[in-house]
Amino acid sequence: MTNPFDLTGRVAVVTGANTGIGQGIALALAAAGADIAAVGRTPAQETVEKARALGRRAEIISADLSTIEPVDRVVDEAVDKLGGLDILVNNAGIIRRNDSLDFTEEDWDAVVDTNLKSVFFLCQAAGRHMVKQGRGKIINIASMLTFQGGIRVPSYTASKSGIGGLTKILANEWASKGISVNAIAPGYIATNNTAALQADADRNKSILDRIPAARWGSPDDMGGAAVFLASSASDYVQGHILAVDGGWLAR
């Protein structure tokens, strides 16, 4: 019987793959058989070495996704270096914190440009390639704040709410072309982006008190969801936002 979760022969582009959730997803895809193009401002050397240790091909693609300038090159380099593009994981993102009364235009634009604008145009560039081959998997990284408002992160909340809508419209347009577009919404995951929350004793306690699993998530917790959405096992899943949150939204 064919394993529907097998990614052997597939090429996956993962943005922000040098650490945290991006690294966890990249290595899970590699363990399932995919070759990895690790994209980021900081070279993802550790990720690439670990993927190669799993027997996969893996390459670094340097790109600063604070603008859309590199998006076409990312797709072209992945195809040139690894021979194709079957899976795109839009993980790269930033966050800025301040009271909404004091939030600056600079912080608004920086977050929305990276977290939403570049994601759309990278989806577009990858989508053009995938349409030609008649298949592809796109996984956007959403957030608990795709569903909720959050506190002191207005541009992040707006960008992640936008990811939810973007995932659905692209699924509507591309599902008939053989392209699956879905999203993963991580709960509270112990990464650099959440370091300030982990360090705040009161906020840390209030977060843990609400999570039924009673712990922060780890980047590895995203791996199974990513493999599912990247594989043929999810071929009839479209426009879905899969929460991997330890039960946060159920509370």
Q: 156, 174, 216, 228: which one is catalytic?
A: 156
Distance CA 235, CA 80 (A): 26
Q: What string of DSSP letters covers the chain?
A: ---TT--TT-EEEEETTTSHHHHHHHHHHHHTT-EEEEEESS--HHHHHHHHHTT--EEEEE--TTSSTTHHHHHHHHHHHHS---EEEE---------GGG--HHHHHHHHIIIIIHHHHHHHHHHHHHHHHT-EEEEEE--GGGTS--SS-HHHHHHHHHHHHHHHHHHHHHGGGTEEEEEEEE-SB-SGGGHHHHH-HHHHHHHHHH-TT-S-B-GGGGHHHHHHHHSGGGTT--S-EEEESTTGGG-
156 labelled catalytic: yes
- Known catalytic residues are 156
